[in-house]
Copies of this chain bind each other. A is one copy, B any other.
Amino acid sequence: MTIDETHDPARESWVESANGHADFPIQNLPLGIFSRNGDNPRGGIAIGDMIVDLRALVLSGLLEGEAREAASAADSPSLNAMLALGAGPRRELRRRVSALLAKNATEQAQVEPLLVPQSEARMHLPAHVGDYTDFYVGIHHATNIGSLFRPDNPLLPNYKHVPIGYHGRASTIRPTGAEVIRPQGQTKAPTADSPSFGPIAKLDYELELGVWMAVGNDLGSPIPIAEALDHVAGITLLNDWSARDIQAWEYQPLGPFLAKNFLSTVSPWIVTMEALAPFRRAQPARPEGDPRPLPYLWDEADQSEGALSLELDVFLTSAAMREKGMEPLRLSHGAASNMYWTIAQMVTHHASNGCQMQTGDLLGSGTISGPEDGSQGSLMEITRNGKEPVELPTGETRTFLEDGDELALAGHFTADGAVSIGFGECRGTVSPART
């Protein structure tokens, strides 16, 4: 990992809202797709409350070489062409934009007119998703859920050898703010004689990270673990909305299907691998007795910096709380260090059979829960599948999500000597089933 002047904690921006911004100080500079007033969606970089319009920046003549190449490729309704250029042009663009936005930059007067207020922009998916894969690397989540579905056998024998994953649905991934329509589905209560169809009762969220692929591989050519992160553009927050009652009835023997594919929400800004360099950490040592991964999944460098110093929060606001002007209730506070497998291990395992990865593919981490109460990344875990309701400040209770509930994920990278950065918004509000 390279730490350079773009990470300098002393660097401030002439965009005043960036200085002290919880998500988008000048040390972040995440990539996204925005539109304004119904014009064509195109690439931008977040800075404080503003967006640098990359099309306008190219036209300004302030970019050269690889930085210009990257920004030009981002003049598109998706970042796929830009991401496919790989880390070099992405890094050059970051360095140039960081310099242009830095306090005392001589180009301030030229750049200032190229900024778009985020309040006037609509955010889109940052990339066209080719395939979406969801992993299961949150070991405490796997244990918690496993104990609910299989009390005798919570963590299966393969878990510590294989980064377990499965394919999800690409067509239903949406950026923050998308309506969460309560799905209908076929469910069967354990006590019922036969299944029925209708609006589901157990609507849940899942707190995950999303990994965006920058550069793919050819069909039949695995990705060695030492090269895995060269294929990754960066990460976002991911809420893999889940219908627990559909899941319980449908998931055997082929895994979750309609329980998961009605919607997944991402935060719309890709926090790049460059931006998160100061927050990489040694992967926590495996507990005594756990197997060492097979050689194709083992890389000393990955072990020494494959984890992230990243705190994760989940907030719930019911309709009644909104009406009363109450603050959101924090449902959980956890950490990305609860990932049993690293991002590099996920990528390398996925391609180990020759499976072709492509620019814009999205990999979910699976739900990230901590081991203790208060750190669990789904209501299924928090309420023990509905047995222990959560009390809201209004006196309402929740076992699963109700119509009108707003659920928001947040994540912040923190490290000594570094300015904290975040993802921005990843939220959705539940609307009634369309019967």
Interface residues of A (CB under 8 A from B): 130-131, 133, 136, 146, 149-150, 156, 158, 161-162, 164-172, 174, 179, 181, 183-186, 188, 194-197, 216, 219-222, 243, 246, 249-258, 261-263, 291, 294-296, 349-350, 352-358, 361, 434
Q: For A222, what are the chain B residues with a Cβ–Cβ distance below 8 Å? A: 184
Q: How far is the CA of A165 from the CA of B186 in the complex (A)?
A: 14
Residue in chain B with minimal CB distance to A294:
B197
A51 and B216 CA atoms in complex are apart in Å by 34
Contact between chains at B262 and A130 (CB < 8 Å):
no
Q: How many monomers of this chain does the complex have?
A: 2
Interface SS of chain A: helix, strand, loop or mixed?
loop
Please report the C-alpha to C-alpha distance between residue A156 and residue B254 in the assembled complex, in whole angstroms.
Answer: 11
Residues of B within 8 A of A258 (CB): 349-350, 352-353, 355
When chains A and B are docked, how far (Å) is the Cα of A349 from the Cα of B183? Answer: 12
Q: Which of B166, B170, B263 contacts A131 (CB 8 A)?
A: B170
Residues of B within 8 A of A188 (CB): 158, 161
Instruction: Tell whether A352 pairs with B185 under 8 Å between CB atoms, given A146-B253, A254-B255.
Output: yes
Minimum CB–CB distance from A183 to chain B (whole Å) comes to: 4
A194 CA to B295 CA in the complex, in Å? 13
A353 with B195, Cβ < 8 A, contacts A158-B252, A252-B158 known = no
Quick check: A354 and B181 within 8 Å, CB to CB?
yes
Bound complex: CA A358 to CA B195 (Å): 28
Identify which of A246, A356, A357 gathers the most chain B CB atoms within 10 Å of its CB: A356
The answer to whether B355 touches A165 (Cβ under 8 A) is no
> Which of B158, B162, B194, B354 interacts with A184 by CB under 8 Å?
B354
Query: In the complex, are the beta carbons of B355 and A262 less than 8 A apart?
Result: yes
With most chain B CB atoms within 10 A of its CB, the pick from A156, A168, A353 is: A353
Evaluate contact between A167 and B164: CB separation under 8 angstroms: no
A243 to B354, CA, bound (A): 12
Known: A170-B170, A197-B296, A255-B255. A164 touches B353 (CB 8 A): no
Least CB distance from A434 to B in Å reads 6
Contact status of A161 and B186, CB under 8 A, knowing A136-B254, A254-B256? yes
